[in-house]
Amino acid sequence: MKKSILKKGVFLITLFGIFMLFSCKKGPGDGGRASIKGKVFTVNYNSSFTVPQDSGYLGAQKVYIIYGNETAVGDNQDTNNDGGFEFNFLRKGKYKVYVFTKTQTNHIDSAVVKEVEITDRTQTVEIPDFKIKTSKN
């Protein structure tokens, strides 16, 4: 009798484990081995945004990522001294990566968004440079 109960218990635990293994499909987000990387390039304008002053890759610029169809920011980071950034430990799925740029009208910030898809669990996706406008004043 004890062997029968023990066999049923092992069977139920095994069945539960298999169910959990196949029912927990993870979408985009943290917890993987893939990454997305890129750079931020800027053109600095005068205070009236009429004359470019200089340009180059921009350090200390915030870059944001949204996982899948989420509406909230999943993560953010500052670019390094040569304008580079990298979001690591991502799973397969679709992502939106964005930075803010100044617009010529009223110098309001506007998002520049790039949509990215990771299709392999160890993939590194390098996105084209973000090109943004800033003002030194």
Q: What is the pLDDT of residues 53-104, one digit of tens each?
A: 999 999 999 999 999 999 999 999 999 999 999 999 999 999 999 999 988 7
Q: What is the pLDDT of residues 39-56, one digit of tens each?
A: 999 999 988 888 999 999
- Coil/strand/helix, residue 8: helix
C-alpha 58: how far from chain center:
18
| AA identity, residue 60 | A
For the structural domain made of 30-135, what CATH number should be given?
A: 2.60.40.10
Cα Rg, the chain, nearest whole Å:
23
Instruction: Please identify which residue in the block is written with the tokens 């506007």.
Output: 110
* pLDDT value at residue 9: 62
Q: Which residues contact 37 (CB under 8 A, 6 or more apart)?
A: 84, 85, 86, 87, 124, 125, 126, 127
* pLDDT value at residue 6: 63
Q: What integer is the mean pLDDT of 16-32?
A: 69
pTM: 0.80
Q: Where are the domains of the chain?
A: 30-135
What is the average pLDDT score of the chain?
88
pLDDT level of residue 105 (50, 70, 90 thresholds): low
